[in-house]
Amino acid sequence: MPVHLPTPSRRTFLTQLGGAVVCAPALHAADEQRVDPDSIAILNDTHIAAGHTANAPIPTHLRETVAWLVAQERRPAAVIINGDLALSNGRPGDYEHFVRLIAPLREAGMPVHLTLGNHDDREVFYQVLQAEKSAAPPVVSRHVGVVSLAKGNLFLLDSLKTVGPRVVAQGLLGPEQLDWLGRMLDAQPGKPALIFAHHNPRLGGEERHFPGGLEDSEPLWDLLVSRPQVKAYIHGHIHHRDHFQHRGIHIFNTPATSYVSNPTASTTGWTMAQLTDQGAEFTTLTHEKTNVWNGKVEKAAWRA
């Protein structure tokens, strides 16, 4: 059944720019003091299932992350949950439980933006989160958008290749989405652009994960490199943490909120990105407070 999300405490105005939704929060004076306009919270790989028990690690991790965000004196201007919202193959109960877990963010007035990964089902996602579906989608059968912040535009892509009982690990953007992205970037050349998609590009040092990455990485990168305002690509999918560069563009692999395959090498957590005039700082926060990743900062200077 559909889930009706709580109405944010501050209004969000939606404007049309070449078919893409550009979100610009309109804040009351009291809200402005509580919001950091240059801060972005990044979660990914939440992997929520309808059958999760109350104290199971996966929903507990998301619940802890949400509680931390709500408790901050200054809150992020945007919360991006970057794909693989559901545990396996995106059933209605998965998204219903997911919505319940992130409800405190909505109730606190935080703008929450969702992308889709290989464990999601686009149509089931829209059945449950009806407000997420655009009446006139900028790219047919894709969940995309643009979030406009003071020091950067966030381009949210849909790398979910196919859905069905058998999950396909690889990601694909496709020519229509790449064409849309190029047009959107060309329409906004004057502000740094950060690209968000669930899948890792098959570029920049993640060789052992390339088979499950983005199939059209090369045409995507040619498109991005030719637009100097593009500064970074942020992804999940790997359930690890890394920072690379490829042809001048930063690649940030952010940690999973849910679980890791090798606890001796990785851990769960989330990322806080702080935009500056010349770059950004990406800080990892982990659920295991003694982990070496906790509080680790990656500084990125934007290419000219």
Kindly tell me if the per-residue pLDDT of 5 is higher than 80: no
Ramachandran region of residue 104, left (φ > 0), alpha (ψ -120 to 50) or beta? alpha
pTM score: 0.91
Kindly tell me if the per-residue pLDDT of 30 is higher than 80: no
Kindly tell me if the per-residue pLDDT of 19 is higher than 90: no
Domain borders along the chain are 12-301
pLDDT digits (tens, 9 = 90+) for 198-241: 999 999 998 999 999 999 999 999 999 999 999 999 999 999 99
Confidence of residue 20 (pLDDT cuts 50, 70, 90): very low
Task: Tell me the average pLDDT across 37-59.
Answer: 95
Q: Which pLDDT belongs to residue 21?
A: 41
Collect all residues with Cβ–Cβ distance below 8 Å to 92 and sequence separation of at least 6: 1, 50, 124, 127, 128
Q: Which pLDDT belongs to residue 167?
A: 83
Which CATH number describes the domain made up of 12-301? 3.60.21.10
Task: Tell me the average pLDDT across 90-114.
Answer: 97
Strand order in the sheet with 279-286: 112-115, 75-82, 35-43, 269-275, 279-286, 297-301
Kindly tell me if the per-residue pLDDT of 88 is higher than 60: yes
Q: Residue-wise over 199-226: b if at least 16 C-beta within 10 A, else e?
A: bbbbbbebeebeebbbbbbeebbebbee
Backbone phi, then psi, for 102, in 5-degree steps? -95, 0
CA distances (Å), origin 212, targets 81, 118, 128, 161, 220:
20, 10, 27, 11, 16
pLDDT digits (tens, 9 = 90+) for 250-274: 999 999 999 999 999 999 999 999 9
pLDDT digits (tens, 9 = 90+) for 270-301: 999 999 999 999 999 999 999 999 999 999 99
